[in-house]
Amino acid sequence: MNKEVIIKKTASYAKQKLSGEASGHDFWHIYRVWKMAVYLAKKEKADLFVVELAALLHDIADWKFNDNDKEGSILSEKWLQKLKVDQGIINQVCHIIDEISFKGAGVKNKIKSIEGMVVQDADRLDTLGAVGIARTFAYGGYRQREIYNPDKKYKLHKTFSSYKNSQSTSINHFYEKLLLLKDLMNTKTAKKIAQHRHKIMEQYLSEFYQEWEAKK
């Protein structure tokens, strides 16, 4: 089976797995990350096959929705073995899936390969800007979080456990994760894109607070 067919089948698999998902982690999130990852991979000269597979599979079983943090890589390995992908490539893809997520402000990033950096950047870019704002509130609604509560202060989590079990507000999520990502991008290409999307979020928050206090 050639690489083009494997990618096509994997895209169909991801679409089927995430059909009807409404927390902001749907197939169209996968689609945007996939397309951005391809763009970054070409700019950064990464292995396109590994990048595409990891981008397409990175959220088929996100830790936020599963008891087993490694469920995504387990399902991905089974899927890629079924397609007879080389085990070395499968190992690279599964490592990216296991380590791609932001797990708290104080948690060290374990991504080392350029392919992993590219996919992680593409995933993080989809958390920023106009789309990122929309996804934040979609996920907040899914988790039954308050939009904002001035009595609840944000927290920079030092451990994955603290971050994973947090019951913060959607606005606090900007400070606990989103506004940190601009400075955590791995590649030069992603850093440039992140600058613009970061500014959009800052502008949004400024407008939000003015409306909250009925100043506009």
* Residues 88-103: tens digit of each pLDDT: 999 999 999 998 887 7
Alpha-carbon distance of 9 to 6, in angstroms, equals 5
pLDDT band at 62 (very low <50, low <70, confident <90, very high): low
Grouping H, G, I as helix, E, B as strand and the rest as coil, residue 127 is coil
pLDDT of 71 reads: 81
Alpha-carbon distance of 46 to 39, in angstroms, equals 10
pLDDT single digits (tens) 118-173: 999 999 999 999 999 999 999 999 889 999 999 999 887 777 666 666 778 999 99
Neighbour tally for 59: CB within 10 Å: 25
* Cβ atoms of 194 and 202 closer than 8 Å: no
Does 3-212 carry CATH code 1.10.3210.50?
yes
pLDDT at 66 over 70: no
